[in-house]
């Protein structure tokens, strides 16, 4: 079905009497996030119908963004259902294109994800409009790292060829899609039709995140599990992932497939050190923040720091309205939190209580505290490519008493990527500033499991998966994971985008 509509329709009309050799019972095609970490989109074909799992945005340079415009070769009208694992845009950001592509069915997700998707997708549509308007008025955000010889003048980089940002869907299309959402409680089975069902297991990645488990009538194990993004049990914020059920095929993310758990030593210690640097010289700590996941991690660690007196004399600002929204969702569903935080909440405590934390909701408020002395400022966007973090960086980077705390993965060539590689200057919205601020890397804040943790999770069920398909990782990450599975005697594949993998169940 990934190649043609008629073939897809014939699988929907599957007849159990047809010899299996002529009609392989299942197939999986990764149409995105195959050899990369954005654009998640996989097709599961089963004897009881086909399901799209995730429909996320390709992110990165403008050329990547334009890949979002061209839909994968799928007969969307014949899909039995769409399933979304979590509310990060690289997994859900193309969902509002579905009605226009002919899909009319249900979009299954967890109840937690359903609470976030309206905000995330409406925000995505609004952002596309704003970016296009800014581009056409010649005001597109600019954030470029520059390296200059000592004593030399910073060379202003030549502007990239002007390419408009793509505009993918309207606010009305978002509302149409939101009406198609069908939330399921965690671990509860939802019938897709003709003997096919989906259920969600807690993934411990971000609020609401789940792995999607597909069951087919007559099969004594799951026919497929799509991991979505898997959280690290060592981050300590969310409940660890549910054990993997017995399954024929596991489609496993491998974002950090080449990283070991020992890469994440001491998140509280790292933060304590940089807070002390800032307190001792009345400086500013700038933390570029992803709204969903990283922001909650950092606020929780700041709450711990506050209890140890490490925020004395510092003001804390959360300059990311979506981050504040997602934080309040965790208050509503404490069962998603790790055990110590659940206990704290059950006793009436607030694991996210940072005394004096001020959430900001307008550009005017944001500008009024630009890189303010004796403060900690969490601001979006996490990649430092847009949003209020840009004006904080423009103000703060030239000042030696400022610290910028970065963690996780950044696109090559981005300002955050350059800051971690000692760029001497930065070009931000037409202004060239010297980088005199201290750049610090915080470890232990990733929402993704390490290689060891991924393998441990893959082995957490009553029996290992019969086969593993590796996606959502670079080719080197997937290769590292593949060799680990080979050592365990588990067959794995790392398909190129669009490669259809058939298997029996």
Of 81-89, 266-274, 295-303, 374-382, which segment contacts Zn ion by CB under 5 A? 81-89
* Contact set for Zn ion, span 190-229 (CB under 5 A): 229
* Contact set for Zn ion, span 382-441 (CB under 5 A): none
Size of the site for Zn ion (CB under 5 A): 2
Q: Which is nearer to Zn ion, 88 or 106 (CB)?
A: 88
Max intra-chain CA distance, the chain: 78
Q: Which is nearer to Zn ion, 206 or 354 (CB)?
A: 206
Beta-sheet pairing, 143-146 with 107-110:
unpaired
Q: Which is nearer to Zn ion, 37 or 44 (CB)?
A: 37
**Shortest gap between Cβ of 91 and Zn ion (angstroms)?**
6
- Tokens for 334, please give them: 């404490």
**Shortest gap between Cβ of 231 and Zn ion (angstroms)?**
9
Q: Which is nearer to Zn ion, 192 or 203 (CB)?
A: 203
**Shortest gap between Cβ of 449 and Zn ion (angstroms)?**
11
Establish if 65 lies at the interface with Zn ion (CB under 5 A): no
CB atoms inside a 10 Å sphere around CB 381: 20
| Residue 499 burial by Cβ neighbours in a 10 Å radius (0-12, 13-18, 19+) | middle
Q: Which is nearer to Zn ion, 108 or 207 (CB)?
A: 207
- For 135, phi then psi, to 5°, come to -60, -45
Q: Which is nearer to Zn ion, 35 or 293 (CB)?
A: 293
DSSP state of 256: T
Q: What is the 3-state secondary structure (H, E, C) of 361-396?
A: CCHHHHHHCCCCCCEEEEECCCCCCCCCHHHHHHHH
**Shortest gap between Cβ of 253 and Zn ion (angstroms)?**
8
Helix (H) or strand (E) holding 123: helix 111-136
**Shortest gap between Cβ of 40 and Zn ion (angstroms)?**
9
Of 83-91, 112-120, 140-148, 243-251, which segment contacts Zn ion by CB under 5 A? 83-91
d(CA 30, CA 41): 6
Choosing from 52, 68, 88, 360, the residue that interacts with Zn ion (CB under 5 A) is 88
Q: Which is nearer to Zn ion, 56 or 72 (CB)?
A: 56
**Shortest gap between Cβ of 410 and Zn ion (angstroms)?**
15
DSSP state of 473: S
User: Are the CB atoms for 371 and 399 separated by under 8 Å?
Assistant: yes
Of residues 51, 12, 30, the one with CA closest to residue 500: 30
For residue 381, whether the previous peptide bond is cis, meaning omega lies within 30 degrees of 0, is yes
Of 34-42, 82-90, 131-139, 316-324, which segment contacts Zn ion by CB under 5 A? 82-90
* Contact set for Zn ion, span 224-243 (CB under 5 A): 229
Site residues (vs Zn ion, CB under 5 A) = 88, 229
């Amino acid at each position: 079905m990934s190649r043609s509509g008629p073939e897809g329709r014939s699988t929907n009309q599957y007849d159990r009497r047809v010899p299996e050799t002529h009609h392989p019972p299942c197939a999986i095609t990764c149409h995105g996030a195959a050899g990369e970490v954005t654009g998640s989109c996989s097709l599961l074909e089963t004897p009881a119908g086909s399901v799209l799992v995730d429909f996320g945005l390709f992110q990165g340079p403008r050329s990547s963004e334009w890949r979002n415009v061209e839909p994968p070769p799928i007969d969307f009208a014949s899909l039995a259902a769409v399933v979304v694992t979590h509310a990060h845009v690289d997994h859900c950001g193309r969902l509002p294109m579905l009605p226009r592509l002919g899909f009319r069915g249900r979009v299954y997700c967890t109840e937690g994800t359903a609470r976030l998707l309206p905000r995330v997708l409406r925000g995505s549509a609004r952002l596309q409009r704003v970016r296009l308007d800014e581009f056409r008025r010649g005001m597109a955000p600019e954030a470029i790292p520059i390296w200059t010889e000592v004593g030399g003048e910073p060379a202003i980089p030549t502007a990239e060829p002007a390419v408009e940002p793509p505009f993918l869907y309207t606010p009305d299309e978002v509302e149409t899609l939101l009406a198609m959402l069908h939330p399921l409680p965690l671990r509860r089975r939802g019938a897709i039709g003709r003997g096919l069902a989906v259920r969600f297991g807690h993934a411990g990645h971000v609020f609401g995140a789940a792995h999607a488990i597909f069951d087919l009538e007559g099969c004594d194990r799951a026919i497929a599990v799509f991991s979505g993004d898997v959280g690290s049990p060592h981050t300590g914020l969310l409940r660890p992932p549910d054990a993997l059920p017995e399954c024929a095929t596991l489609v496993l993310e491998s974002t950090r497939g080449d990283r070991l758990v020992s890469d994440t030593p001491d998140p509280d210690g790292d933060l304590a050190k940089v807070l002390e640097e800032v307190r001792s010289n009345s400086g500013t700590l700038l933390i570029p923040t992803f709204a969903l996941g990283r922001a909650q991690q950092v606020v929780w660690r700041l709450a711990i720091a506050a209890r140890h007196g490490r925020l004395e004399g510092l003001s804390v600002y959360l300059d990311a309205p979506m981050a504040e929204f997602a934080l309040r969702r965790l208050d509503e569903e404490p069962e998603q939190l790790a055990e110590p935080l659940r206990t704290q909440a059950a006793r009436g405590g607030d694991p996210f209580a940072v005394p004096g934390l001020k959430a900001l909701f307008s550009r005017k408020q944001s500008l009024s505290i630009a890189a303010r002395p004796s403060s900690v400022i969490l601001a979006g966007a996490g990649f430092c490519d847009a949003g209020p973090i840009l004006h904080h960086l423009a103000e703060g980077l030239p000042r030696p008493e400022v610290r910028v705390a970065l963690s996780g993965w950044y696109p090559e060539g981005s300002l955050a990527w350059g800051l971690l590689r000692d760029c001497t200057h930065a070009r931000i919205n037409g202004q060239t500033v010297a980088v005199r601020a201290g750049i610090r890397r915080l470890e232990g804040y990733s929402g993704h499991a390490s290689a060891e943790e991924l393998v441990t999770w893959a082995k957490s069920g009553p029996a290992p998966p019969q086969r593993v398909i590796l996606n959502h990782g670079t080719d080197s990450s997937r290769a590292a994971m593949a060799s680990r599975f080979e050592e365990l005697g588990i067959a794995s594949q790392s398909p190129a985008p669009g490669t259809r993998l058939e298997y029996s169940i």
